[in-house]
Amino acid sequence: MPTKGTLVLFRHGQTEYNKLGYLTGLADVALTKEGEDQARAAGKSLSGFIFDKAYSSTLSRAFNTATLALEASGSNNHLKNADGTWNVEQRREIVEADSGDFTGRNKFTDPEILAYPHSYDIPLPNGESDKQMVERVRKFYNEVLLPRLERGETVMVASHSGIMVAFDIVAGLKPEPTEDIWSNRSKVPNAAPVVFEYTDGKLTKHYDVPSKPGASPPKP
């Protein structure tokens, strides 16, 4: 019998930096009230999923999105610790790309950001390149996620917009680009779950999870 595994990915809910159009990088910016609502709406849409394991980045916006979503799902209380907290493993490999000196600056209007070379392998000033980010996500995907998916597990990952693009690349859905991807990450919606289905460790299906009736839909 083929072994079926499922990976559910989503970006964190909205933050104040998202609202302002700022590059966030490694800044630990909290969710807004709307971002918390988006996380809960994502959880409601995932009520049919029973997760064997949950991961988030080490940044609070991703971790809190994961815990709010798990709580709202109503189907994953087995992932609670004895003290009632959620057993979400935080991983450094899936933090957002380090935007260095550009952190907290408007990616749409800042002249220095707009003039900076848009190249996949050029790091942002005192930060990280998209290539470096993709390579650490690739290592996490190959060494941590794929073995679980090959065993037929259902896994949840809450991360960031750049990491969502990186997952598409390492899973083979998108080619590695020549230009940067950070300038286009606003196209990744907040807290909108995406499902990757696997058979014997091979990706066979990829789709967005529709919002549950009555739940507030995730917003870009």
Q: What are phi and psi of 104, to 5 degrees?
A: 80, 15
How is residue 70 written in tokens? 């798990």
- For residues 95 and 108, give the distance between their C-alpha atoms in angstroms, rounded to a whole number: 22
Residues in Cβ contact with 131 at an 8 Å cutoff, skipping those fewer than 6 apart? 120, 121, 176
- For residues 26 and 74, give the distance between their C-alpha atoms in angstroms, rounded to a whole number: 31
- For residues 71 and 47, give the distance between their C-alpha atoms in angstroms, rounded to a whole number: 10
DSSP string, 94-130: GSPP--GGGTTSBTTT-HHHHHS---TTSPPTTS--H
Would you state the torsion angle of the CA atoms of residues 67, 73, 75, 80, taken in this order, to the nearest 10 degrees? 10
Which of the following is catalytic: 12, 93, 128, 160?
Answer: 12
Q: Encode burial over 98-131: b for 16+ CB neighbours within 10 A, e otherwise.
A: bbeebbebebeeeeebeebebebeebbeebbbbb
Q: Is 12 one of the catalytic residues?
A: yes
Which of the following is catalytic: 16, 78, 89, 96?
Answer: 96
Residues in the chain: 220
- For residues 154 and 8, give the distance between their C-alpha atoms in angstroms, rounded to a whole number: 8
Catalytically active residues, by annotation: 12, 96
